[in-house]
Structure 1
Amino acid sequence: MPKSKSRNKKAVYTPPKKAQEVKLSPRWLAPTMVAAWIIGILWIAVFYVTNVASVRVPLMTDLGNWNLGIGFAFIIFGVVLSTRWR
């Protein structure tokens, strides 16, 4: 019976590739990310507290419910920045 060709051939040894460089995130990324989260949460919290207490904050009163969009925009911006963090 003839021998199979696959048994006779062995894979040639190839040395492992050198380790890739570790990419570091910029120094400003983490503080900006955390600051965006905190600003977003505080913006929404202040908006709700001023509505419940009927306190008039000039900018927030004029924006109305757009304050929620602004707060969530800051939070989403922080999440987007967190995807770039290494």
Structure 2
Amino acid sequence: MPESKPRKRTPRPNEATTTHQYKPNPVWYKPVMFGLMIIGLLWIITYYITSGQLPIPAWQSWNIVAGFGVAIVGFLMTTRWRS
């Protein structure tokens, strides 16, 4: 019995691009990310050291929420950080 010839495999258009090639982040991304984390930390430290007189006295305990909010935005940016 004769053997059939193997077919040459041709890649499909979408199959060749299965690996994602991510672009690196812009130059400003990393300084902003770390800056937000540090600003949030400094905001909370300032609130505790000044016994609530700074950064914004009218906010009272909401200064802690503001500091954590700023820091969390910085930490959330780390999930999108690419080298």
What TM-score do the two structures reach when normalised by structure 1? 0.68
Structure 1: 4+ residue segments shifted above 4 A: 12-15, 17-20
Identity, % of aligned positions: 35
Higher relative contact order (Cα pairs below 8 Å, separated by 6+ residues)? 1
Larger Rg: 1
Quote the Cα distance in structure 2 between the aligned partners of 1:20 and 1:45: 42
Alignment of 1:4-83 (within 5 A): 17=16, 21-51=21-51, 56-57=53-54, 59-83=55-79
Structure 1 residues 19-74: Cα deviation after superposition (integer angstroms, max 9, x where no partner): 653421111110000000000000000000011xxx733x5211100001100001
Question: Could you tell me how far 1:13 is from its partner in structure 2?
Answer: 6.6
Which consecutive residues of structure 2, in runs of 5 or more, have no partner in the other structure?
1-5
SS at match of 1:41: helix
| 3-state SS in 2 of match to 1:83 | helix
Q: Which TM-score applies when normalising by structure 2?
A: 0.70
Give RMSD over aligned pairs. 2.7
Q: Which runs of 5+ in 1 are unaligned?
A: 1-9
Cα separation, 2, equivalents of 1:22 and 1:39: 29
Q: Which residue of 1 aligns with 2:3?
A: none
